[in-house]
Amino acid sequence: MVTGDDDEVGAADVGLGDHGLQDREHAVDVGQHRHASRRRPPCRRTLSRRATVGPAGNRLSVPRRGRYGSRMPAAEDYFGDEVAATYDDAESEMFDAAVVGPTVDLIAELAGGGAALELGVGTGRIALPLAARGVPVHGTDLSAAMLALLLAKPGGDTVGATLGDLSTTRVEGRFAVVYLVFNTIMNLTTQDAQVACFANAADHLEPGGAFVVEVMVPDLQRLPPGQDVVPFHVGETSWAFDRYDVVTQAMSSTYVDVAGGEVRFRSTPFRYVWPAELDLMARLAGLRLRDRWDGWTKQPFTSGSRRHVSVWDKPAA
């Protein structure tokens, strides 16, 4: 489906059955993504290798490292089997047709008949309906469990998938649009990784192509001076809050709930990032801001916007 330089990707025989996973010695308990609607069980696993899954079947090949690979520390996989199993949630706003439809519309418009690459493709919430529109789609993701679910879905055989870190992993071919949605840029917890992500996206774009990011605006206006915690859910048996480090831009979302006399505590790390900082990362990667909207239907981005959908262009020549 996607053609390109064979030098980027080598082959290896690895089955999808065990997801190529191994237990990690220093795993931490984690919760759901900040904006997902359901609680996620903790994950104690990570990848043992990176691999590519072709649209045709469940054989994997291991890609060589991209040009940024050797500098980047290994990323933690927070979307293991247990998290993946509950990720798709028909009741979640993010799976609502009113959210997915406009997202797919805009990405298909930007693809303009060309191919699309999704970084952090997950279980295919956007990739599958985009492929169903006839857009050739390839995705990368660190989680073998998420990719296994994607491939098992109807239409999963129409989407190419590569297992690996989205900021460093190279896949074959060049794309008209590369996209990163649902705050996934914040899953990269260092500025270096976010910068590398932009460089990696730019490397995958054909001249004139577009890189699209959907991410929240840092919510620091809700943070009174001297305070570093913002609660976002206060229930009778469950509580959730964000903690901000305004020096490093590290943040975390923490969930505490009580069930059956047991208390569960889960925390997921993120790095919040400013729109202007993203623009600079884009410039470092040779891209230029084309548009910034408040959402997928191109609402104006204003001082009151809580999130943005931004599009950066790769020069045509």
Ligand X SMILES: C[S@@+](CC[C@H](N)C(=O)[O-])C[C@H]1O[C@@H](n2cnc3c(N)ncnc32)[C@H](O)[C@@H]1O
> Which residues form the interface with ligand X (CB under 6 A)?
33, 75, 79, 120-122, 125-126, 140-143, 146, 165-167, 181-182, 184, 187-188
Beta carbon of residue 258, minimum distance to ligand X (angstroms, whole number):
26
Cβ closest to ligand X, residue 95 vs residue 223:
95
Cβ closest to ligand X, residue 79 vs residue 293:
79
Beta carbon of residue 214, minimum distance to ligand X (angstroms, whole number):
8
Cβ closest to ligand X, residue 185 vs residue 282:
185
Tokens describing residue 307 = 């999130």
Tokens describing residue 300 = 């104006």
Beta carbon of residue 124, minimum distance to ligand X (angstroms, whole number):
8
Beta carbon of residue 148, minimum distance to ligand X (angstroms, whole number):
11
Q: Which helix H or strand E contains 26, and what residues bound it? A: none
Contact 296, 106 (CB under 8 A): yes
Provide the b/e sequence for 168-197 (b: ≥16 CB within 10 Å). bbbbbbbbbbbbbbbbbbbbbbbeebbbbb
Beta carbon of residue 69, minimum distance to ligand X (angstroms, whole number):
12
Beta carbon of residue 263, minimum distance to ligand X (angstroms, whole number):
25
Q: What is the 3-state secondary structure (H, E, C) of 191-217?
A: HHHHHHHHHHHHHHEEEEEEEEEEEEC
Cβ closest to ligand X, residue 126 vs residue 177:
126
Cβ closest to ligand X, residue 16 vs residue 121:
121
| Residue number with the smallest Cβ distance to ligand X | 122
Q: Which residues contact 246 (CB under 8 A, 6 or more apart)?
A: 220, 223, 228
Tokens describing residue 205 = 């774009």
Contact 282, 289 (CB under 8 A): yes
Cβ closest to ligand X, residue 187 vs residue 249:
187
Closest CA relative to residue 302, chosen from 310, 292, 313: 292
